[in-house]
Amino acid sequence: MIFLQENKALIAKRAGETLRIEPWGPDALRVRAFMYDDASSRDWALTEIPAASDSRITIGEEDFWVGDGTISKTPCAEIVNGRIRATVNFAGVLSFYRDGSLILREYFRFYGGTLAKTSRCLKIVNREWKGIIGASDYQLTVRFDPNEGEKIYGMGQYQQPCLNLKGSMLELAQRNSQISVPFMVSSLGYGFLWNNPAVGRVTFAANQTEWIARATKQMDYWITAGDGPKDILEKYTAVTGRAPMFPENLMGLWQCKLRYRTQDEVLEVARKYREEGIHIDQIVIDFFHWTVQGDWKFDKTYWPDPKAMIDELHAMGIRVIVSVWPSVDRRSENFGPMMERGLLIRTERGAAQTYDYQGDCVEIDPFNPETRKYIWEVCKRNYADLGIDGFWLDNSEPDYGVYDFENYRYCEGPALTCSNLYPQMFSRAFFEPMSEGANEAPVNLLRCGWAGSQKYGNVIWSGDVPSTFESFREQLQAGLNIGLAGIPWWTTDIGGFMTDDVNDPDFRQLLIRWYQFAVYSAVLRMHGDRGPYNIPPLDERDWGGGYLHTGQPNELWSYGEENYRIMRKFYDIRIALHDYIAGLYKEAHETGAPLIRTMFFEFPEDGKCWELQDQYMFGSRYLVAPVLYLNQFEREVYLPAGEWKNINTGEKLQGGKTVAVKAPIDEIPVFEKM
């Protein structure tokens, strides 16, 4: 092993590999490695200029047990930046320390470890570069020793019941309702970003942690030490970006359904809300308001004068957002020009098709700046110039017909090397031109994101999830973990997306419980595909805005008088919280803190809070305990130390204990920290 110092960076070379470790913000290090070729210039998620920091580098020797009972000297080195220290031994094995305590060490089981304490004849190395036949890329595997008792959080959004991810295997790939944001927060006081958009996998097993990139040229990760989750997240978002200031006139109710088929339906709903004395901040026009996918324009048959519709909605103080998909049907007027100019995803073999829902489609390649320019020019002409305020960038993973990532290629390279960045590039096609000369940040709705997506005005929702209590419980874990991965603007379809029968009393109970939860989250948004499907299509064509089915009504009054009363009650609660919510959005902008927070985010010294996953903090003041089971009308709530007030009864309680709380259908247990 050869060690060098290059300005503030420590360089280590061995067996064709170059390892580079350098300070990257306070108490943080960026670690990169590559084989033979020069390092990539891509910073991926690390887009922000890090705050000034320094390093202390020492190159020396350490004792090495030879095997016959003798000790020899071998080269070693260390780099220190504030509270974090990294050491590298003669075999290139990295160890990281926070305030002198070991927090992470690479897994190395090969004869000849430091003092041979971890030596084995297994021939398993810490960084494994496996060449891909016929390509210049490698499959990269990076291994770390496990830490007994460690808890791991963040990593984006996965549809599973686990909040603590220790013991989980997570696919590093984007799918409908799965969002890979590869940043983890450890209970040991460090944060770790896998700064690589390649498709792969991470396993946080009891015997080792293993990160895999299926095709890449470079290892790249960032690690920081902190006092707790707040400090760690603040440091992470300082180098990856923070959400803009959220517009105050979007903090109330967003109205949506599958799907408003005509401009008359949209106006009818908006007028009814006005008559009821309920202000909706934004109304969403969902998919197939267009002619075919990729035309990105209103079907004039059912939307004859969209500008007049938008003007009337604006006069009511309602913003308008429309659905835009990245899929381009072969029948679209844009398919030929985009295919000819190389603006669509390429397939490596077989037919040129990437998506097959309601058409034979190929999706756009947003890695290509010409693609981003093309789609924005079309959407500006057909939507923004009419007054449309924002875009619902659906299917933004993208939603492939088959998730065979090795069969797709972007102008950036093979999908295996970079596909996780796709939703972020799609969002930038709209955010960047919309930001030019704007008085406030654009707000667009997306179904996916990656590390750093928070800085591009993305409200991310949890995807097309089932309308079940099981799914509801999973959304809570998803929302808490994606917040710890730096994405504060997160929401769900209230009641879930897929409903067979809106008249089912069990579904209506779920809807109410989900709605109550949504009131105490970042975005209150009504949406869902509501069965039964007994509403006939508007015409018999196999294209255009009239042929596809629509769901049942999904407005607040659509579920009976008693449910309307409850939703109206909680709507009023949401409006009363406006100033508080505005403060939370400001905090997210300034520090990266999520709006919905794990209990340990606010109470890191309370060991009980690290075990809880069925209650959360809405900001620092309100403890929220959603009702997560059918026919549950009482539940236990843990109150950390201090004084708490039950906002439903006014009762004041001392914390440090678990209490039983009544939860009738028109109440959700919420406690205010006094």
Instruction: Pull the structure tokens for residue 243.
Output: 């959400």
Run of H or E residues at 596:
strand 596-597
- Spatial separation of the C-alpha atoms in residues 178 and 176, rounded to whole Å: 6
Q: Determine the Cα angle at 36 with ends 221 and 20, to 5°.
A: 35
Cα angle vertex 568, ends 564, 572, to 5°?
175
Which of the residues are catalytic? 394, 397, 464
Contact at 8 Å (CB) between 608 and 638? yes
**Entry field: residues in the chain:** 674
Alpha helices in 191-255 (DSSP H): 229-240
Rg (CA), the chain: 26
Tokens coding 596: 């919905």
Dig out the tokens for 134 from the structure.
């016929």
List the 643-646 sheet strands across, edge first. Answer: 596-597, 616-618, 622-624, 670-673, 643-646, 652-654
Helices 263-276 and 306-315, packing angle to 10 deg: 10
CA 129 – CA 18 distance, rounded (Å): 12
Q: Which two tokens stand for residue 569?
A: 């009650």
Residues of the chain by 3-state class (helix, strand, coil), percent to 5: 25, 30, 45
Please provide the DSSP assignment of 363-392 as one string: EB-TTSHHHHHHHHHHHHHHTGGGT--EEE
- CA 314 to CA 309: how far, in whole Å? 9
Give one DSSP letter per residue of 532-555, joined into a string. ---SPPS-S-SSSTTSS--PPP-S
H or E stretch at 210:
strand 209-216
Taking each helix axis from N to C end, the angle separating 561-576 and 578-591, rounded to the nearest 10 degrees, works out to 60
| Contact status, residue 674 vs residue 644, Cβ threshold 8 Å | yes
Q: How far apart are CA 239 and CA 162, in angstroms?
A: 28
Residue 564 CA to residue 495 CA, distance in Å, equals 14
* Alpha-helix residue ranges (DSSP H) falling in 298-421: 306-315, 335-340, 369-382, 415-418
**Burial of 424 from C-beta contacts in 10 A (0-12 / 13-18 / 19+):** buried
β-strand pairing of 209-216 with 138-144: antiparallel
How far is 302 from 266, CA to CA, in rounded Å?
A: 11
Distance (Å) of CA 401 to CA 102, 445, 561: 45, 22, 41
Question: Around Cβ 226, how many Cβ atoms within 10 Å?
Answer: 23
Task: Confirm if 477 and 465 have CB atoms less than 8 A apart.
Answer: no
Label residue 317 left, alpha or beta by phi (over 0 means left) and psi (-120 to 50 means alpha): left
